Amino acid sequence: MELWFSEDFSGGSRFGARVTQVVASHKSEFQQIDILATEVFGKMLVIDGKVQACEMDEFVYHEMLTHPALLSHPNPRKVLVAGGGDGGTVRECLKHSCVQEVTLVEIDRMVIELCQTHMPGLASRLSEDSRVRVAPDDASKIIQQARNMDVILVDSSDPVGPSEALFQPEFFQELHTALSEDGITCLQAGSPFLGPEQVVKMALDLKKFFPVVHLLTIPVPSYPGGTWCLALASKADWNPRGDSGQLIRQRFQDRGLTDQTKYLTKDMLGPCFEVPAFLMSIFRREQQAVAR
Amino acid sequence: MELWFSEDFSGGSRFGARVTQVVASHKSEFQQIDILATEVFGKMLVIDGKVQACEMDEFVYHEMLTHPALLSHPNPRKVLVAGGGDGGTVRECLKHSCVQEVTLVEIDRMVIELCQTHMPGLASRLSEDSRVRVAPDDASKIIQQARNMDVILVDSSDPVGPSEALFQPEFFQELHTALSEDGITCLQAGSPFLGPEQVVKMALDLKKFFPVVHLLTIPVPSYPGGTWCLALASKADWNPRGDSGQLIRQRFQDRGLTDQTKYLTKDMLGPCFEVPAFLMSIFRREQQAVAR
């Protein structure tokens, strides 16, 4: 028997992976959670039919959601991770020795438990490191109450179901309030090829609350379109192309990240902020439309 | 009826696109050629079941195969394009006013004819610009005889069937002989996620003949793994991270490429040469194995 997992996007594009074993399949209070063993992508966490993380390429997404944000902050001590029950983002945060406390807010405890059992490469640090606090709660509710966070990483699923609120301007305002004076947030922002308008809308909505917003473009073979966008928004003023770019690269070394990453290199910390021309022109078009 | 095109890679990964119309389907002397209209990817050229180019993202591949190479050369006049009957690479070459002659060597005339009829956005320049010469021949044979080329772009399909010879070290030696003293070549080099060993092997094989070899990593949603590698090899010594990087960016402006590209920006010309950490470590491992 041949077993294939398949995920459709926008009704016209499809990603498929050959499955060697259905490792776990559960319906939680919130969603359908499956863990599949695949031939090419390793074990794969699938929620409501959409790939969230797979062993073969999760390092790209988790490193890039975490390190550019944490390195852009001079001294991140308190970090909040919203969503991301697979543990990959928390694992990356713990690589910065200056980090004293990582709070993981994941609405669905079953995601955490299944990943701890079946994908320990991602989730084992959730119970092994005393700096980690797990809050099984609604991220948007917790962020409403949080204050003085240095970094908030929004490791959400797509803007449907439990994650929908995490893509609204009201949530971006709450993020701004929950962050310290020089706080920084990084969020998943969608597909630049298959949904560029959504990516641009998110960046422009963030711009209403944060003086500095940058897009990061990263390869993720198991996500629709193969390339994904992250949005980084900061309350303090800095520019990865100038002196602050040099500073970020220096911190990569100072915080001992050399040889600790599988995708990111020091020299990629400037480049990862470069945005393709077609995305920039959608930006300019939308900004002009707003200005009119 | 729902019609889906689907391409499998390594037996365990699948790319799919919903087809609205089979525009053309022909068996040539060399291969099966199909042109499909799709919902998300625009029209798509498929050869022997593998996507070669589609309207939605062809610009990334063709711009990146062409411009970093041509911009790395001080004055490219004679360019040879091996393969690439869809015309996209030739179209990009013609954007450099210094280019006096582009020879397209495509073994399969039917590819050219079908693209001229159905994908004019790629192929129309093949008959409209007097600088273009089309040679319906075997690329490896023509390159054996060619001399004093400034740039050779190898726009091949995968290393099976008619393109197999274009991935062999013997061919790289012939490329070296066919190029002028400061000549440069750029070749498609495979998938960094699904076939990193093949990418590294190609770069190391090129290193046997060329003093400077760089990998470029680019997003191509319709190719397996969503990200693709190109290998750029040069007979003259230069480094995109140093002064020559600055020079390349300057040439982007001087040759009038600003606003002529949909993916590449001037600021991306340094960044596109950064290689992910996992690919670099395969490199180091292989180089040590050779040194032993």
pLDDT tens digits, one per residue of B71-115 = 999 999 999 999 999 999 999 999 999 999 999 999 999 999 999
Paired strand residues for A132: A102
Q: Are B83 and B163 contacting, i.e. CB atoms less than 8 angstroms apart?
A: yes
Chain B interface, best mutation among A193, A241, A267, by max B CB count within 10 A? A193
Kindly report the nearest CA distance between residue B284 and chain A, in angstroms. 13
B256–chain A Cβ distance below 8 A for any pair:
no
Kindly report the nearest CA distance between residue A258 and chain B, in angstroms. 10
* Distance, CA of A102 to chain centre: 15
Q: Which residues contact A165 (CB under 8 A, 6 or more apart)?
A: A140, A171
> Can you list the domains of chain A with their CATH numbers?
4-52 (2.30.140.10), 58-291 (3.40.50.150)
A283–chain B Cβ distance below 8 A for any pair:
no
Structure tokens at B178: 């066919």
**Which residue ranges in chain A fall short of pLDDT 50?**
none
**CA end-to-end span of chain A, whole Å?**
59
A26–chain B Cβ distance below 8 A for any pair:
no
Q: Are B61 and B220 contacting, i.e. CB atoms less than 8 angstroms apart?
A: yes
Of B193, B223, B262, the CB nearest to A278: B262
Q: Which residues contact A134 (CB under 8 A, 6 or more apart)?
A: A103, A104, A106, A112, A126
Q: Are A60 and A218 contacting, i.e. CB atoms less than 8 angstroms apart?
A: yes
Kindly report the nearest CA distance between residue B136 and chain A, in angstroms. 34
Q: With a cut of 90, say whether residue B6 has pLDDT above it.
A: yes
* Closest by Cα among A206, A185, A194 to A83: A185
CA atoms within 13 A on the CB side of B222: 26
Q: Which residues contact B52 (CB under 8 A, 6 or more apart)?
A: B45, B46, B86, B157
B227 neighbourhood in chain A, CB within 8 Å: 219, 221, 226-227
Q: Which residues contact A241 (CB under 8 A, 6 or more apart)?
A: A270, A273, B267
Q: Judging by DSSP bridges, how do beta strands B149-155 and B179-190 pair with one another?
A: parallel
Whole-number pLDDT of residue A288: 85
Find the DSSP H helices in chain B: 58-72, 88-93, 109-118, 120-123, 125-128, 139-145, 169-178, 196-207, 243-254, 277-291
Q: Which residues contact B188 (CB under 8 A, 6 or more apart)?
A: B61, B65, B154, B155, B156, B228, B229, B230
Radius of gyration for chain B, computed over Cα atoms and rounded to the nearest angstrom = 18
- Which residue has better confidence, B291 or A106? A106
Calpha distance A99→A78 (Å, rounded): 6
Whole-number pLDDT of residue A165: 80
Q: With a cut of 90, say whether residue B243 has pLDDT above it.
A: no
The CB density around residue A211, as the number of other CB atoms within 10 Å, is 11
Taking CA–CA distances from A270, the nearest residue in chain B reads B271
A270–chain B Cβ distance below 8 A for any pair:
yes
Total CB pairs under 8 A between chain A and B: 142
B4 neighbourhood in chain A, CB within 8 Å: 14
Can A86 be counted among the known catalytic residues?
no
Interchain contact, A219 vs B221, CB within 8 Å: no
Whole-number pLDDT of residue A157: 76
The CB density around residue A258, as the number of other CB atoms within 10 Å, is 12
Query: Residue A282 gets which letter from DSSP?
Result: H
B227–chain A Cβ distance below 8 A for any pair:
yes
The CB density around residue A177, as the number of other CB atoms within 10 Å, is 12
Q: Are A184 and A150 contacting, i.e. CB atoms less than 8 angstroms apart?
A: yes
Interchain contact, B13 vs A14, CB within 8 Å: no
Burial class (CB in 10 A: 0-12, 13-18, 19+), A192: buried
Structure tokens at A52: 């969230």
A6–chain B Cβ distance below 8 A for any pair:
yes
A252–chain B Cβ distance below 8 A for any pair:
no
Q: With a cut of 80, say whether residue B161 has pLDDT above it.
A: no
Q: Are A152 and A182 contacting, i.e. CB atoms less than 8 angstroms apart?
A: no
> DSSP labels for A212-224?
EEEEEEEE-TTST
Calpha distance B48→B26 (Å, rounded): 11
Buried b (16+ CB within 10 A) or exposed e, B24-40: beeeeeebebbbbbbeb
Chain B interface, best mutation among A5, A39, A40, by max B CB count within 10 A? A40
Taking CA–CA distances from A267, the nearest residue in chain B reads B274
pLDDT tens track for B163-174: 788 889 999 999
Calpha distance B179→B184 (Å, rounded): 7
Q: What is the ipTM of this complex?
A: 0.93
Residue in B57, B108, B155, B158 annotated catalytic = B155
Calpha distance B118→B113 (Å, rounded): 9
Chain A interface, best mutation among B274, B278, B284, B285, by max A CB count within 10 A? B274
Whole-number pLDDT of residue B158: 74
Paired strand residues for B25: B34
Whole-number pLDDT of residue B166: 82
Whole-number pLDDT of residue B1: 87
In chain B, how long is the greatest CA-to-CA distance?
Answer: 59
Q: Are B266 and B253 contacting, i.e. CB atoms less than 8 angstroms apart?
A: yes
Kindly report the nearest CA distance between residue B80 and chain A, in angstroms. 27
Taking CA–CA distances from B222, the nearest residue in chain A reads A225
- Is residue A165 helix, strand or coil? helix
- Is residue B256 helix, strand or coil? coil
Q: With a cut of 80, say whether residue B261 has pLDDT above it.
A: yes
Q: What is the mean pLDDT of residues B198-212?
A: 95
Residue in A155, A182, A205, A237 annotated catalytic = A155
Whole-number pLDDT of residue B210: 97
Calpha distance A230→B87 (Å, rounded): 34
What's the pLDDT band for B241 if we cut at 50, 70, 90? confident
Taking CA–CA distances from A4, the nearest residue in chain B reads B12
